[in-house]
Amino acid sequence: MSQPPLHIVILAAGKGSRMRSSLPKVLHCVAGKTLLGHVIDASLPLAPSKIHVVVGHGKERVMETFSDHPNASMLNFVVQQQQRGTGHAVSQALPGIPNDATVLMLTADVPLIKASTLKQLVDSMRSHTLTVLTAIVDNPFGLGRITRDDTHSVSGIVEEKDATPEQRKIKEINSGIICARKNQLTHWLKQINDNNNQQEYYLTDVVGIAYNHGSPITTLQPNHNHEISGINDRVQLAQAECAYQHAQTQELMRSGVTVLDPARLDIRGDVSVGEDSIIDINVVIEGPTQIGRNVTVGPNCVISQCIIADDAVIHANSVLENAEIDCGASVGPFARLRPGTKLGKDVKIGNFVEIKNALLDNGAKVNHLSYVGDANVGSNSNIGAGVITCNYDGANKHKTIIGADVFVGSDTQLVAPVTVSDGATIGAGSTITSDVNERVLAISRGRQREIKNWQRPVKKKR
């Protein structure tokens, strides 16, 4: 028997006034990804027929942000013109959902929810008409409480502002995540009203209505309560960031990675790290990034969208962005690899070196205080201190080609476009403006001379 189609409704219309921001709340970020983006990405593994995002405040900005999402075709934006509560918001999305569908309702400000938890919720609908994700918490202040009857069956959800003193003692809280059949949900939503302290149509009221109709209701709880932590202000945003980072570093360590201080590692996006790698303190890694086995990352490094192969070493205070680093390469300290950098095996990039849009073949070295941009450097070539590839003429970029086994002396300027052939040597202090042949010494500098009886200037007395 085939399963009914799954449609997901994400509530993302609220202003989020407690964030005190011109940016819509759902576009604030945890680990470099928007709150709404987290919830969408947690929904996708469930293979829904459609994800309906109910927007209101800042709707144009929200829709524009997700216009280039990899699964943009899966998203259907529904505008809630007036913010009249969560029940009203869900009702705006229902016309686009078939009657036989299962509807999973999520909130965009609960970014840490896991796909595995949502799957359990949807699977429970095989034997129930309504499932609510709840949690037992020590401090339920501000949260909706789950009420139960004498048989311990769920009888409803009461919001904090509408709860009696006795109900406020209840520690089982509503997560805001509910799953129901569309045809019954439509019927229940027609019966809710705004007779409450906030004069809003609460989605949670459908639970009490379903109970009164004798519909079977079940509850599930997440493995960790931080999954259902909502974001209402910047304090909670920071708490969610900490919870996310803790979970990510725990996963890395269990997979065989040494993290010297889990509290001082930030993982943002899709990041994988191989066994026996070591990550020092104050490191930020932004995905998508792949780091191989036995890689060492020193303190205070930023690695963004890189591929780093086995046995590489990234020394302290280096910044890498959109770079590819092969086995055994060494980078830093205080090095910067900009987009388009590709390092071959055993390449060495030293302190205060900047590489941009350049390919360095196996065994090449750029050890000190140099800039190599828009260049190809052959295997085993050695670039001395203070060397600059002059790739920009003020209007256009030009290429520098350096062959294999080339030695470029310190304080040399290579004015592109220029080619230095295999085995050539460039004398220190040269400005190279023409191509250099194989296995020659090229030198371009003024002759040294001495001026006798030279009087050094002295400071004039005032």
Tell me the per-residue pLDDT of 152-198, one tens digit each, with 9 for 90 and over: 999 999 988 889 999 999 999 999 999 999 999 999 999 999 888 88
Res 219: pLDDT: 94
What token pair was written down for 55? 């927007």
Once rounded to an integer, what is the mean pLDDT over residues 103-113? 96
Once rounded to an integer, what is the mean pLDDT over residues 236-260? 95
Residues 210, 216: contact at Cβ < 8 Å? Answer: no
Res 142: pLDDT: 85
Q: Where are the domains of the chain?
A: 6-228, 252-442
Once rounded to an integer, what is the mean pLDDT over residues 280-309? 97
Residues 381, 398: contact at Cβ < 8 Å? Answer: no
Q: What is the DSSP letter of 460?
A: P
Q: How far apart, in whole angstroms, are the C-alpha atoms of residue 432 and residue 415? A: 6
Q: What is the DSSP string of 137-187?
A: -S--TTSPEEEE-TTS-EEEEE-GGG--TTGGG--EEEEEEEEEEHHHHHH
Res 79: pLDDT: 95
Using DSSP's 3-state secondary structure scheme, residue 74 falls into helix
368 labelled catalytic: yes
**Topology at the third CATH level for domain 252-442:** UDP N-Acetylglucosamine Acyltransferase; domain 1 (2.160.10)
Res 2: pLDDT: 67
In this prediction, residue 413 has a pLDDT band, given cuts at 50, 70 and 90, of: very high
Q: Is 369 left (phi over 0), alpha (psi -120 to 50) or beta?
A: left
Q: What percent of the chain has pLDDT over 70?
A: 100
Q: What is the pTM of this model?
A: 0.86
Mean residue pLDDT of the chain comes to 94
- Greater confidence (349 vs 129) lies with 349
Q: What percent of the chain has pLDDT over 90?
A: 87
End-to-end CA distance of the chain: 101
Q: How far apart, in whole angstroms, are the C-alpha atoms of residue 357 and residue 374? A: 5
Predicted confidence (pLDDT) at residue 120 exceeds the cutoff of 80: yes
The residue whose two tokens read 């309504």 is 130
Q: Which of 128, 226, 368, 398 is catalytic?
A: 368
Task: Assess whether the region 6-228 and the region 252-442 belong to the same CATH fold.
Answer: no
Which superfamily does 6-228 belong to? Spore Coat Polysaccharide Biosynthesis Protein SpsA; Chain A (3.90.550.10)
